[in-house]
Each structure stands twice: as C-alpha cells, then as structure tokens.
Amino acid sequence: MPPPPKPGVIPLRPLNLGDILGGSFSALGRHWKQLFGMAVVAYGLAALLMGGAAAIAVAAVYDHLRHLDHVVNSTYRVVPARSDVQPVVIAGAAVVIFAMVMWLVAMALLCSAVPAVLQDAVLGRRSTFSAVWRRAWSRFPAVLGTVAVQCAALMGMTLLLVVVPMAMFLSASRHHAPSSLPLLLFALGAFVLTPVGTWLWVRFGFAPAIAVLENQRPLEALRRSAHLVRGVWWRTFGILILVVMISGVIGYFVQLPLTYGGMFATMPLMLADDSTGSVALAITIFVVMYLAGMVISQFVSTTLPQLAAGLLYIDQRIRREDLALALADAAGIPKEPAGPMGTW
C-alpha cells in the first residue's frame, strides 16, 4: 500500500503524537514570519494600551504616592493613612484587571492567525502576512468569544488573587485583624476553579480553529469543539499539556540568556562611569534585551499549543469525518486510479 500523501506539514491520515509535534514545529518554522508579525502587532498594541493605562493611574493617584513616599522615607515610624493607601491599591487593581483584558485580546488575535496559517501549512501553500491578517481580523470577534470562555476560570482565579487581598485589606482596621472569610472563599474558589478551568480548556480547545476554519460563531464553535473532544478528552489533554510544557521550556531557555546577557552587557557601563548618560544607556540595553526575550518566549508559548490544538482538530475530523479526502482534493493531489478488476 502506498504511503498517504503529505502535501504540507502532516500526512493526510490519522495523526499520532510524532505527527502532531513534528507538524507543529514544521508549521512554526515555515510560517514564523507571518506568526511573529501578528504577535508583534497584537502584543505591541496591548503593551502600548497597558502603558497608557498605567500612566493614567499614576497621574490619578500621584498626590497619594508622593505622600506615601514621604511617610516611608521618614525617619519617624509613621503609619500611612488609609486615605492615601486605598486609592493606590484600587488604582493598582484596576491596572491589573485592564492588563488581563488586554492580554486576552492580544492572545485572541494571535489565536485567530494560527488557524489561518495552519490551513496553508497543511495544504503546502505559501502564505503572506497581509492574507493572514485579513483572515485573522475577519474572524477575530468570534475567536475572542471562544477564547474568553476558554479562559474564564483562569481569569476568575487571577481576579481572586487581586480582589481577595484587597478585600482583606479594606475590611481590616488599625486595631482588628482582617476577616478570615475572604481567605476561606479564596481557598474554596481555587479548589473549584482549577479542575473546572482545566476541563473547559480541553473541552473547548478546538474552538478557535473551528471559528476560523469553519466560519462558526462563538457558541457554535464551542459546541462543535465539545463534540469533537468527546471520547478523546484524556488524549487531547495529554498532548496539549506536553506541548505547553515543551513550549514553556523553550521560552525559558530563550529568555534566560537574553536577560542575563543584558545584565552582563550593562555591567561595564555601570562600573566604568556613573554619569546619567551611561546609566540611561545601560538601563535601555537591559530593558531592550529583556523585552526581546519576553516577546519571543510569549510568542513560542502561545503559538505552539495553538498549532498543536489545530492539528488535533484536523486529526479528529480525519478520523470521524474523512477529512483527508477533502484536504487532498484542496491540495490538488490527483486521485489514485482504481486497481484492475479480476480474481487473485
């Protein structure tokens, strides 16, 4: 029997773990320019908006910050006034929540681009940044809805980390200890949301790819993903966790040398001259290298799991819906002629 056709990064047959890992890395290697360009646009805009929000928050509580700085640096032990601390805590929490929303929006835009790139990668076609952008932007609202549901429990956990400590602080007084009720609610929420978040993450893991490749609305994409994952939840979970771990290790080893390289590169400037210009140049070099490592690390940790999820979606459609024939036809692979009829 002849081997199955392979017009792109995967053979057109049911996929195994090696096919999914190899196909994910091959798609990333062949189309990294388009994906990295989308990542720069998504996370760059998010960073600018988060920086603007942080600047607005600092300007809004600037007088309170000055007073707190004066109290902290005072030679006398003075307890900060609650009227100064509370606005700073609330402003900080608002900035954190806004940053979470911007991160979700940026991730949704990149998740819209990955299936568009993967479609060309599977069929062996070339892609351009403009084509990927048009396709991703047209499906961005639907993908944002699916990603929001997929990350709902995770966002809830993060909100607990911000809201509960703030509630404990606001409920405390100078002479009374904080109430134990917020801490108990935090523990119960963490216990419930962790398994629920994992279950939702896997159950709806195919939704972004479905929203782009099948032009489905968010609810339809979520239902379709749940249908395809049914019966293969543990297999999907195991492969996605493995890819997440691999991408995390790659991102760590990318960011580590750039971070420490920035530190070592700035040491001669800091030791040779303590002028304002040398200090500013050293800080600029370190920040640039650190941000470069962070962007590359975030890019790898986001795109690789999404590529793997897209290939798992294709695998399930090949197994259940005979998608291999449609993919071969779309790739322009001629059908094999029927063998000669007769007895053996």
The string of DSSP codes covering 219-261 is: HHHHHHHHHHHTT-HHHHHHHHHHHHHHHHHHHHHHHHHHHHH
Has residue 11 been placed in a domain? no
Range of the domain at 290: 17-330
Task: Return the structure tokens found at 159.
Answer: 């909100």
Q: How far is CA 273 from CA 9, 261, 269, 277, 278, in A?
A: 53, 20, 6, 9, 6
Task: Determine the pLDDT at residue 122.
Answer: 94
Contacts of 215 (CB under 8 A, 6+ apart): 139
Has residue 343 been placed in a domain? no
Task: Return the structure tokens found at 306.
Answer: 């999404």
Task: Determine the pLDDT at residue 254.
Answer: 85
3-state class (DSSP) for residue 148 = helix
Under 8 Å between Cβ of 185 and 171? no
Task: Determine the pLDDT at residue 174.
Answer: 47
Number of independent structural domains in the chain? 1
Has residue 262 been placed in a domain? yes
Task: Determine the pLDDT at residue 7.
Answer: 92
Task: Determine the pLDDT at residue 121.
Answer: 94
Contacts of 116 (CB under 8 A, 6+ apart): 127, 131, 132, 135, 136, 139, 212
- pTM, to two decimals: 0.81
Under 8 Å between Cβ of 318 and 324? yes
Has residue 326 been placed in a domain? yes
Has residue 340 been placed in a domain? no
Q: Mean pLDDT of all residues in the chain?
A: 81
Under 8 Å between Cβ of 206 and 228? yes
Least confident of 55-69, 91-105, 304-318: 55-69
DSSP 18-61: HHHHHHHHHHHHHSHHHHHHHHHHHHHHHHHHHHHHHHHHHHHT
Task: Determine the pLDDT at residue 175.
Answer: 46
What are 175-211's pLDDT values in tens digits? 455 556 666 766 676 677 778 778 888 999 999 999 9
What are 112-149's pLDDT values in tens digits? 999 999 999 999 998 899 999 999 999 999 999 998 88
Task: Return the structure tokens found at 274.
Answer: 């303590």
Q: What angle do CA 146, 151, 152 make, to 5 degrees?
A: 100
Has residue 304 been placed in a domain? yes
Q: How far is CA 9 from CA 101, 136, 157, in A?
A: 34, 21, 37
Dihedral over Cα of 21, 22, 28, 31: its sign: negative
Under 8 Å between Cβ of 142 and 216? yes
* Mean pLDDT for the stretch of residues 236-247: 95
Has residue 1 been placed in a domain? no
Phi-psi region of 231 (alpha: psi -120 to 50; beta: other; left: phi over 0): left
Contacts of 186 (CB under 8 A, 6+ apart): 160, 164
Under 8 Å between Cβ of 318 and 12? yes
